[in-house]
Structure 1
């Protein structure tokens, strides 16, 4: 049985890519903590390798400076 991947990622911030793998059940929050932005930019996104007609829904993304 093939396992499909759904991943929240952060990259291009001056360090190696960081990610949070998501399952198939509804979960209210996914977090990638302590992203060391050293170049003044960041790319946030979602990646999957699921089959056609599989889907995911996201309401919003938020970056919080600590």
Structure 2
């Protein structure tokens, strides 16, 4: 099993988020999701400065 950094918050759908020191949030996907998906050929980005609401699958501050 890999070492999971304590500052990552995981969703059941294998995405993770990390709050950075400058207030931004870095998001990614788990190793399992990377292996299952193969090559990522498309990423849909949201508009800059868009706000998001917290949901129960991720711990929010």
Question: Greater RCO between the two (CA within 8 Å, min separation 6)?
Answer: 1
Query: Which structure: greater strand fraction?
Result: 1
TM-score calculated relative to the size of structure 2: 0.30
TM-score calculated relative to the size of structure 1: 0.29
